[in-house]
Amino acid sequence: MDQKVRVRFAPSPTGPLHIGGVRTALYNYLFARQHGGEMILRIEDTDSQRFVPGAEEYINEALAWLGIKIDEGVREGGEYGPYKQSERRDIYREHVKMLLNAGKAYIAFDTPEELDARRESTPNFQYDASTRMSMRNSLSLSADEVKELLDNGAKYVVRFLIEPGRDVEVNDLIRGKVTINSSVLDDKVLYKSADDLPTYHLANIVDDHLMKVSHVIRGEEWLPSAPLHVLLYEAFGWVDTMPAFVHLPLLLKPDGKGKLSKRDGDRLGFPVFPLEWQDPKSGEISSGYRESGYLPEAVVNFLALLGWNPGDDTEFMSMQELIDKFSLDHCSKSGAKFDFEKGKWFNHKYLQELPDAQLTELFKPILKENGVEGFSDEYIIRVVSMVKGRINFVKDLWEQSRYFFVEPTEYDAKSVKKRWNEGTPQLMNELIEVLNGIDDFSCASVEPTVLGWITDKNYHMGNVMNAFRLTVVGECKGPHMFDITELLGKEETVRRVRLGVERIK
């Protein structure tokens, strides 16, 4: 690549960043880092109607949480700023003038009411070469009329003059050549005098050019805009430095039928936003990956594989490994099903990689919330090491291990029905005798003694052991029974068996 790689992530601050947007940011980042290039974060806030307070902060926080580092941006600064479009009005105004002077754009005075009326009277109306001379604009009106309207402060927009009947080629590094005939395009609005702001198309192209962007990597939903963008590069005379286009595949619903939406997340119970978000107007809260207990490394790994693969069956990759392996050649054209169960599985796997001491620190506040205090770190670490294989989230530790901290007060009804019968209390009383006779309560010592007793007496192994577990744990689940009793100790184990005999009916 002869040109320096410079990519940009260009979100509009219209709400919380959707998980699809996060994936776009991630691919931009991986690509930039791999090529020793730079990543820009540009805030595209030219649509004042859709601006949502807090959205920009949210974007910054989400990217930081995930470890996606920005080289140039509003907060980072950089040579090509400002990086917020609402602060670049002068630049856009100047570029609009360039197009007008070159005859590549024109001024249109049609009011919203006039446009509506026209849409009503002309089926499939499009503002283009076939209709523009019947509208009110600087091409159809005389120079004097235009001047008078402008002098009187009439509101206007600037439209792009699209020549019909031309094949416009978009070279997409994932999709190959995409050709579209210019006749299907309308004369897009590039600038509105009402708020002195450009539209997305103009601002986007001007900024990509001025910020020396080499690759435009964005979601597939922007592919339809690409031919227009190519024409704008031509109109400005910038074709030689036009960035390469990369349109990433859509994220699809888990069943593959249609685009992933917020509603799918609500319906199926998984977040579609990186961080929790509270809508400033309605107060409605949308869940986030962070607050739901996901590790950022797991989210990054999961997202990286939605639309890309490393070319082999490697699944676990750190950010650095992703940077090393990423390649546009292995990005898919077709949409990627959002398999949130896989996301959970990644989180499970990443939690297993955390040192027990670190998991313990994450677990402590949850213990506190549940009123558990006074256990040593050493004790909690041992609990964590025993049950972590069963968790997808840190919060699951509590459900999986509460009996290490509080005695069971209820006993799982199904297990009781299956494992507790008339003779069980007598068996458990005998077990208490056996346990009381053991001095060394380690697993290595208790296990052979208890199992030996069951065998000698010819008792049913499953019935005795399950009843025993029921009294100690409250249900017939959990890690190895004698690891549990080792940690609980003799006194507590015997106490629980006794309580079980009293309480289970």
Residues in touch with ligand GLU (CB under 6 A): 10-12, 44, 200, 204, 218, 222
Find the shortest distance in angstroms from Cβ 256 to ligand GLU.
23
For residue 192, the cross-strand partners are 157, 197
Find the shortest distance in angstroms from Cβ 132 to ligand GLU.
26
Residue closer to ligand GLU by CB (options 12, 137) is: 12
Q: Is 262 a catalytic residue?
A: yes
**Exposed / middle / buried, residue 472 (Cβ in 10 Å: 0-12, 13-18, 19+):** buried
Find the shortest distance in angstroms from Cβ 303 to ligand GLU.
16
Q: Which of 262, 349, 395, 490 is catalytic?
A: 262
Find the shortest distance in angstroms from Cβ 206 to ligand GLU.
12
Residue 29: both structure tokens together: 């980042």
Which residues neighbour 81 within 8 Å (Cβ) at sequence distance 6 or greater? 72, 74
Largest CA distance in the chain: 112
Find the shortest distance in angstroms from Cβ 42 to ligand GLU.
8
- With CA atoms as reference, report the closest residue to 26 among 219, 255, 163, 181: 219
Residue 350: both structure tokens together: 């990443």
State the DSSP H helix or E strand holding residue 464, giving kind and residue range, or none if neither: helix 461-473
Residue 281: both structure tokens together: 């107007």
Find the shortest distance in angstroms from Cβ 218 to ligand GLU.
4
Amino acid letter for position 270: F
Residue closer to ligand GLU by CB (options 87, 353) is: 87
SS3 179: strand
Q: Is 40 left (phi over 0), alpha (psi -120 to 50) or beta?
A: beta
C-beta of residue 150 within 8 angstroms of C-beta of residue 156: yes
Spatial distance between the Cα atoms of 70 and 29, rounded to a whole number of angstroms: 8
For the beta carbon of residue 81, count every other beta carbon within 10 angstroms.
16
Spatial distance between the Cα atoms of 413 and 495, rounded to a whole number of angstroms: 21
Residue closer to ligand GLU by CB (options 12, 138) is: 12
Residue closer to ligand GLU by CB (options 54, 254) is: 54
Residue closer to ligand GLU by CB (options 159, 201) is: 201
For the beta carbon of residue 278, count every other beta carbon within 10 angstroms.
12
CA angle, residues 284, 289, 291, in degrees to nearest 5: 70
Spatial distance between the Cα atoms of 32 and 40, rounded to a whole number of angstroms: 10
Find the shortest distance in angstroms from Cβ 140 to ligand GLU.
32
Positions annotated as catalytic residues are 262
